[in-house]
Chains A and B, each alone.
Chain A
């Protein structure tokens, strides 16, 4: 009985270790178009951008926030770590803001598409998983 319990405990710990490793691997990078002057952004500043409270970069150019699709695990992680909100609450909020004249984040449906968009569009900000190479974009934040 005790042996069985020990085996289960070891298996459980092993599973937890694996899980935490994979969670670590799902860290993300906050990236911007190279035209953006900001060197680093705090989670509070990133949140203000995605909640459409900050609309322009310091030089006055327009900020274009980019999000992943609603079903993306990376978006869920971003919502929890940076925005501290659920998908449903954010969808309702962005719908209201859109009607009030503020544009919700643009959607890109993969890391690759996100990277291509950020690279191409001046003023764009987005996020990709840490395992994706952030080629030709600027990293302004990291979510562990």
Chain B
């Protein structure tokens, strides 16, 4: 399923990028796995993720092209620094009863924005961008995240996208925290198919503050206010996230809590959840990981509890194989218990 606007914008952006990159090449034409293809002022890159889902019990087993994403970024001058990402998602290739005739695959316009570099530390962004709640949502590409299964707290309680404006502050010397303030005045621009939306958010405003203390190790806090479309409910959300690595060990997690100020048939007027993940690098390429998550959704009186364990093999920084087992216990099962294996590549 693809909206005509998504198709049109994809074509328009790619055409514009190719035309603009036709001028004198500033960055020599080159391709490097994981870093994409440089053409003039533009970089063309993407990622693909193929997942084998082998759930326990009677549920359908399937081989799915979970994501095929293309992103283009341009660095033209201080004022023109566009970014565009479109993605084909959830395309079942095979399932237990044969070749798939699945129509659930859809194209999503993930991001389309322009950055204006106000100063070394300050960037103004306008367009559709990933919402900075926690860290996982901002780096959700399969080759970058540690597990196949996404923890519930990193996606179910807020809009993954913000369509509006944002100010980003990042100190070049890393002496001060990084700050991103954002505002979406209306609904999501070029929204995903409604069938894939858990709920739609509008009038979003929020702040994410992050203290990096190593390259990818950091602690962050997020706050957000939004309205839930069609209900009149207002949601207030707060979250913390962190990642710390020490020698071969790594630990990371996110915790979010939301309060909904009116009740429209909800089982709860609040929602909260989180996960904590531990990993150990057996070799520079092979890691073992495990996580535990708890999620208490607003629509349910019972919570979800999952544990997961698995291993990953990264023969190249841009390529990763993952295999993991997830087990639900206790309450609600949002992610099916079972085994998943995946191959993903950043290209």
Q: Which residue of chain A is the closest to B43 with respect to CB atoms?
A: A103
As a 0/1 sequence over residues 54 to 75 of chain B, the CB contacts with chain A under 8 angstroms (1 = contact) are 0000000000000000010101
Q: Is A82 an interface residue (CB 8 A)?
A: no
Q: Please tell me which stretch of A1-9, A24-32, A53-61, A133-141 contacts chain B, meaning at least 4 of its Cβ atoms lie within 8 angstroms of it.
A: A53-61
Q: Which residue of chain A is the closest to B143 with respect to CB atoms?
A: A95
Q: Is the CB of B27 within 8 A of A64?
A: yes
Q: Is the CB of A85 within 8 A of B28?
A: no
Q: Which one of B35, B75, B170 lies within 8 Å of A98 (CB-CB)?
A: B35
Q: Which residue of chain B is the closest to A113 with respect to CB atoms?
A: B28
Q: Is B36 an interface residue (CB 8 A)?
A: yes
Q: Is the CB of B115 within 8 A of A94?
A: no
Q: Is A48 an interface residue (CB 8 A)?
A: yes
Q: Is the CB of A93 within 8 A of B215?
A: yes
Bound state CA distance, A91 and B316, in angstroms?
9
Q: Which one of A88, A90, A106, A123 lies within 8 Å of B30 (CB-CB)?
A: A106
Q: Is the CB of A107 within 8 A of B28?
A: no
Q: Is the CB of B78 within 8 A of A56?
A: yes
Bound state CA distance, A7 and B247, in angstroms?
40
Q: Is the CB of B117 within 8 A of A88?
A: no
Q: Is the CB of A55 within 8 A of B120?
A: yes
Q: Is the CB of B43 within 8 A of A95?
A: no
| Known pairs A44-B173, A120-B28; A62 contacts B317 (CB<8 A) | no
Instruction: For A103, list chain B residues within 8 Å (CB).
Output: 35, 38, 43, 73, 75
| Known pairs A53-B174, A56-B120; A98 contacts B284 (CB<8 A) | no
Q: Which one of B139, B174, B216 lies within 8 Å of A99 (CB-CB)?
A: B139
Considering only residues 122-154 of chain B, those with a C-beta below 8 Å from chain A are 138-139, 141, 143-144
Number of interface residues of B (CB under 8 A): 36
Interface residues on A, range: 20 to 34
* 23 pairs from A and B in contact (CB 8 Å cutoff): A51-B215, A53-B120, A53-B171, A56-B120, A60-B78, A64-B27, A89-B216, A92-B216, A94-B35, A95-B143, A95-B144, A96-B139, A98-B43, A98-B45, A100-B138, A100-B139, A101-B115, A103-B35, A103-B38, A106-B30, A107-B32, A121-B27, A123-B26
Contact surface of A with B, Cβ cutoff 8 Å: 44, 48, 51, 53-56, 60, 62, 64, 70, 85, 88-96, 98-101, 103-104, 106-107, 117, 120-123
Q: Can you add 19 more A-B contacts, CB < 8 Å, to A53-B172, A98-B45?
A: A44-B173, A54-B120, A54-B172, A56-B117, A60-B78, A62-B26, A62-B75, A70-B317, A95-B34, A96-B139, A98-B35, A100-B139, A103-B35, A103-B38, A103-B43, A106-B28, A107-B30, A117-B28, A121-B27
